[in-house]
Amino acid sequence: MPFQRNCRVIEVNQIANGLFSLVFDCSDIAGSTKAGQFVHISCGDGLLLRRPISVCDLDGSLVRIIFQVKGSGTSWLSERKQGEVIDVLGPLGKGFALDGSRLLLVGGGIGVPPLLMAARQASEQGKKVNALLGFADADKVILLPEFASACDWVEVSTENGSLGKHGYVTDLLISRLEANQNICDLILSCGPQAMLSRVAHIAKEHHMPCQVSLEQRMGCGIGACLVCSCGIKSPGGEGKSFARVCADGPVFSSREVIWDET
């Protein structure tokens, strides 16, 4: 059940170039959020549409989000101060199903934050959790200590080789699966569309269940406006239908997504 609440800002910090962490206090939202769900935040009086941002972490009544400044809305949000109040609707969407006992998390860029909550919740359930995290360069790397505390091991790649393995996070995934097919029984992934498409292809090749969190432009955030519709395969795999990323997702099985239409 989503709640609309005026929430007090606890802290706002810039954690990397163009990336901000914001913590707000709301026991209703914190008490009902699952990994992979998001909140919809009103960003200033002059902006009609809310901004959807995945939940990164929880601590009691505190909710942490991490976002990238892309326009006027997220710029406004990055300028909030401790003690100010923001209008938040959430939690929204369908999160990750933490099935299986061995989870491999594959994140890219701003898709990394929601996987932290998945790592923490799975670890608390006694599951074995490992993470492969990819970034453009070392200046954009975030949350490594937090993932290290929740996972058995964490491996990092950067596209320019400035930290960790030189290349893409999907290269790490291929390497790990080829070295040990039994490294996991479920892949959870969040990141850019091209990365997710590649992860889905690799998971299918290795007969590995995979859940992906999609990112789409949203309007209402509750499934009424259909702005965020994406193509998915019909039951049985023949034909196609449409799903609302905000309400039917953002998490889907990688095998049901029609990747050339996302």
CATH topology (fold) of 96-212:
Rossmann fold (3.40.50)
Which residues make beta-bridge pairs with 95? none
CATH number of 214-262: 2.10.240.10
Domain 3-92 sits in CATH at 2.40.30.10
Domain spans, the chain: 3-92, 96-212, 214-262
pLDDT over 90 at 215, yes or no? no
Q: How many Å separate Cα 111 from the centre of its chain?
A: 5
Alpha carbon 74 to chain centroid, angstroms: 17
Lowest mean pLDDT across 77-91, 118-132, 188-202, 215-229: 215-229
Q: For 7-57, what is each residue's pLDDT tens digit?
A: 999 999 999 999 999 999 999 999 999 999 999 999 988 778 899 999 999
Q: At 176, phi and psi to the nearest 5?
A: -65, -45
In sequence order, the 6+-apart residues with CB closer than 8 A to the CB of 254 are: 187, 189, 196, 199, 200, 203, 204, 210, 211, 212
Summarize pLDDT for 134-150 with one digit per residue, the tens.
Answer: 999 999 999 999 999 99
- Give the pLDDT confidence of 87-133 residue by residue, as tens digits: 999 999 999 999 989 999 999 999 999 999 999 999 999 999 999 99
CB 196 within 8 A of CB 114: no
Q: Of residues 257 and 220, which shows the higher confidence score?
A: 257
Residue from 19, 44, 27, 41 nearest 92 by CA: 41
Q: What is the pLDDT of residue 16?
A: 95
